[in-house]
């Protein structure tokens, strides 16, 4: 347990929000127009994958926010 607060947690939350916003805007701007004419049953799995893919690097990022290490 920490005795003193660390700057990594608020900075990490802000960075996470910024990166997630950029990711969402990039998906909406560049990838969504490619799929707009496709059937909904094809679009749903694509958007599910795109909605989950941003979680992949999140574990290491959360470890860094708590400990300062990337492992």
Q: Which residues of the chain have pLDDT under 50?
A: none
**Cα 45 to Cα 54: distance, rounded to the nearest angstrom:** 15
Q: Which residues of 6-27 are buried (b: 16+ CB within 10 A; e: fewer)?
A: eeeeeebeeeeeeeeeeeeeeb
> What pLDDT, on the 0 to 100 scale, is given for residue 6?
86
Q: Please give the mean pLDDT across all residues of the chain.
A: 91
> What pLDDT, on the 0 to 100 scale, is given for residue 2?
65
- Report if pTM > 0.85: no
């Amino acid at each position: 347990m920490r005795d003193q607060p660390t700057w990594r947690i608020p900075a990490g939350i802000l960075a996470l929000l910024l990166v997630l916003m950029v990711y969402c805007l990039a998906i909406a701007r560049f990838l969504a127009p490619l799929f707009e004419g496709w059937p909904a049953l094809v679009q749903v799995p694509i958007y599910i994958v795109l909605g989950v893919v941003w979680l992949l690097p999140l574990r290491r990022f959360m470890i860094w926010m708590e400990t300062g290490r990337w492992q």
